[in-house]
Structure 1
Amino acid sequence: MTVVWDVIVAERLALADLLDSLSPEEWSRPSLCASWTVHDVAAHMTMQQLGIADAVGVMRAWQGSMARTTREAARRRAAARSPAQIVAEIRETAPRHRHSIGVTKLETLIDVLVHTQDIALPLGRRHDMPPAAAAAATTRVLTMRWPPPLPSTRVLTGFRLTATDIDWAHGDGPEVHGPMAALLLVATGRQVALPSLSGEGAAGLSERLRLSR
């Protein structure tokens, strides 16, 4: 579907603009991803279009889990590329309708939507997430079978999630309401979005997510 790629391209370019505005000190700050700096996350965003040879190179440095292997690959790339080089690479490759081998364009959409917030939010920067794109991404997060579902999705089982800014709902159980962007961030394990949630199930979901860390 072309519209998904339209959003991906626009979000890649918006990320490049955001990164261009950061000071050297901001590049070294922690992101929302545990043990990842802003520089690490930005470098990871140059890895959205990996082919077979690239993927094999990443897997050769296996770190015992996919999460640790991905983090190490991002750190190596960050060490090898300056902020300016990373921004230039994101901007140059943004228009390409390509995703890494083994995933779909929806995982690529999730990646750019969520990681842009991983950079922006801890720096006090604002980047509004398109609600319709966030809805498609959240549906994918909560229903995917391959790649394997994120551990955070188990936390949301037994709750009824309802967006307050778009016609979207998922699941059964106590109601949890919030902006679509917040629901996507919670679905991907970002506790920073918990204060944006309301409803009879919000407190229980918040507690469950905190205990899952």
Structure 2
Amino acid sequence: MATTADTWGTIHAERRALLADVRDLTPEQWATPSLCTGRSVQDTLAHMAATARMTPPGFFLKLARAGFRFEDMAAREIAELTSGTPADTLAAFRAQLDSVGHPPGPVDSWLGETVVHAEDIRRPLGLARAYPVAALTRLADFYRGSNLLIGGKRRVEGLTLRATDADWAAGSGPEVRGPVLALLLAVTGRKVAHAELEGEGLPLLASRN
């Protein structure tokens, strides 16, 4: 089982891999809509940088300043880190490559934040990444067991998820199968991944937000 130090090592490695993929984007690519509704590629990278520089006390202070509205707080952080050029946003992200800062929550949240948002950026740009399989299965288990923010538990309730490229399956009920990365994205509400999935449970999954 991975230790907390191992998990942070994976997070830092994935941040570096994402930096390598986005450092030479064109202005048009930076403006491309990400898989995060209402956020561009630049916005999503800014959100990742903002999360990585956060501390639990800082989180609660900023949340209070935003009237305890999480989305308003996130929008303020993104606005701050996108007020300059894409190069400025990139520099803010680069400054957090080795950070272990984060809002309150378990370390798997920040591994998920890194991997899932990296896909939110990569997929609209046509970029692919071979993530560590152990990290993907760990995150699939994590998100399918929690409704906090993401709503993964509700989304896959009563379904069996089965990876076709890894030794991983979970749940019970009609089956949804496909690559583990696609399953992870589906659990976290990224419907673009449904095209890579199949099984008698897929219509039910697709009907859920």
Scaled by the length of structure 2, the TM-score of the pair is: 0.88
Q: What residue is the counterpart of 1:88 in the other structure?
A: 91
Match of 1:155 in 2: 155
Structure 1 range deviating more: 108-117 or 12-21: 12-21
What does the per-residue CA deviation read over 1:63-120, in whole Å, with 9 as the maximum and x for residues that have no partner?
A: 6742x22441343223334322332332332123x14131121100000100011111
- Which of 56, 63, 66 does residue 59 from structure 1 map onto? 63
Where structure 1 has 5 or more consecutive residues not aligned to the other structure, the ranges are none
Task: Give secondary structure in 2 for the equivalent of 1:161.
Answer: strand
Contact 2:82-2:89 at 8 Å conserved across structures: no
Q: Residue 118 of structure 1 aligns with which residue? A: 120
- How far apart in 2 are the matches of 1:94 and 1:182? 25
1:78 equivalent in alignment to 2:90: no
Alignment: residue pair count: 205
In 1, Cα distance between equivalents of 2:20 and 2:146 = 31
Q: How does 1:95-106 map to 2 (within 5 A)?
A: 95-96=98-99, 98-106=100-108
Name the residue aligned to 1:169. 169
Cα 1:52–1:177, aligned 2, differ >3 Å: closer, same or farther? closer
Contact in 2 for aligned 1:51/1:100 (Cα 8 Å): yes
1:134 and 1:173 map into 2 onto residues whose CA distance is: 22
Superposition deviation, residue 57 in structure 1: 4.5
Secondary structure in 2 matching 1:170: strand
Q: Tell me the residue number matched to 1:130.
A: 132
Residue 202 of structure 2 is matched in structure 1 by 202
CA contact under 8 A between 1:40 and 1:74: conserved in structure 2? no
Q: CA deviation at 1:201?
A: 1.5
The answer (yes or no) to whether the contact 1:160–1:176 under 8 Å persists in 2 is yes
1:38 and 2:17 are equivalent in the alignment: no
The aligned counterpart of 1:187 is: 187
- Output the CA distance in 1 between the equivalents of 2:95 and 2:74: 23
CA deviation after TM superposition for structure 1 residue 127, in Å: 2.2
Partner of 2:53: 49
Deviation, 1:17, is 1.2
